[in-house]
Chains A and B, each alone.
Chain A
Amino acid sequence: MRDRKPWLLVVGLTLTWLLLAAQVSLTQLLLGMAVALLMVFRFRPVRPVQPRLRRPASAFRLLGRVTLDILRSNYNVARIVLGLTGGREIRPGFVDIPLKLRDPHGLATLSAIVTSTPGTVWANLSEDGSTLTLHVLDLTENQHWIDTIKQRYESLLMEIFE
């Protein structure tokens, strides 16, 4: 089997079907698998880019990091909303971040991470994919955010997807 990724998608869709049905029985399993197989192989021309998971185990490390960052930034944003910044004015602003990551699936994952972390929103990705613009709620120094994205997320994402 040269390309085993469709099977991953079939398994995922079957799992989704079972979760939606909220019961595990042979009937539901077969039905879900039939629908998943039909969808994956009928709709392949619509989605020509297939992901290449090089090191799926790193995804758990990424998940741990993201959970930690979500907790931390929730605390920070909550303080800003309540005005507990110690009298300091917050400065929202845009940051440009040079990106080396090119894989579309990696970029999609990065956008999900950035959006679900309070305090940062994905604003723009330049046409050639080399510069990511983020909007940051509390922009103290640009270099801090560039380092965060590049070292905490981008390196791991490139390890997983490229």
Chain B
Amino acid sequence: MTGDSLPAWASIIAAVLLVVGGLCTALGSLGLLRLPSFYARMHGPSMGNTLGLGCVLLASMLLASVTSGKAVVHEVLITVFVVTTSPITAMLLMQASVRRPKVPPAG
């Protein structure tokens, strides 16, 4: 049902945002797969967490607002939650991997 009566500018902006967000997320997760060590891998997913998620939420807000004719901003809540919670996960994981012994288990 997307965009039966969408103006051209809205769908073009939303399309660009979606493509950029998708690429960022995919590249971030590719980093999770490709980078050599755990500490380096920590940096991959934060691409998807910030720019990827931000672009998708902006596109969603734009399309919902244009379709319904009034400002729909409740996607901001997801941004707030993710921005406030992701440092905690990152810190705890960093601390855990700094303090755990280096020798990996067999297998």
Residues of A that sit less than 8 Å from B by CB: 16, 19-20, 22, 70-71, 74, 77-78, 80-82, 90, 92, 108, 111-112, 114-124, 135, 137
Partner of B76, one of A19, A111, A117, A119: A19
A111 to B86 alpha-carbon distance, docked (Å) = 10
6 A-B pairs with least C-beta separation: A81-B31, A115-B87, A111-B87, A137-B43, A19-B74, A116-B50
Knowing A20-B74, A121-B42, the reply to whether A74 touches B24 (Cβ < 8 A) is yes
Flag if A71 contacts B51 (CB, 8 Å).
yes
B87: A residues at CB distance < 8 A? 108, 111-112, 114-116, 122
B34: A residues at CB distance < 8 A? 81
Flag if A118 contacts B98 (CB, 8 Å).
no
Interface flag for B12 (CB, 8 Å): no
Rounded to whole Å, the gap between the CB of A74 and the closest CB of chain B is 5
Looking at chain A's contact residues, the main secondary structure is helix
A123 to B93 alpha-carbon distance, docked (Å) = 9
A124 to B96 alpha-carbon distance, docked (Å) = 11
B19: A residues at CB distance < 8 A? none
Partner of A81, one of B27, B51, B84: B27
Flag if A121 contacts B24 (CB, 8 Å).
no
Flag if B27 contacts A115 (CB, 8 Å).
no
* A-B pairs with beta carbons under 8 Å apart, 14 shown: A19-B77, A20-B74, A22-B72, A74-B47, A81-B28, A111-B91, A116-B83, A116-B87, A118-B28, A118-B47, A121-B42, A121-B94, A123-B91, A135-B39
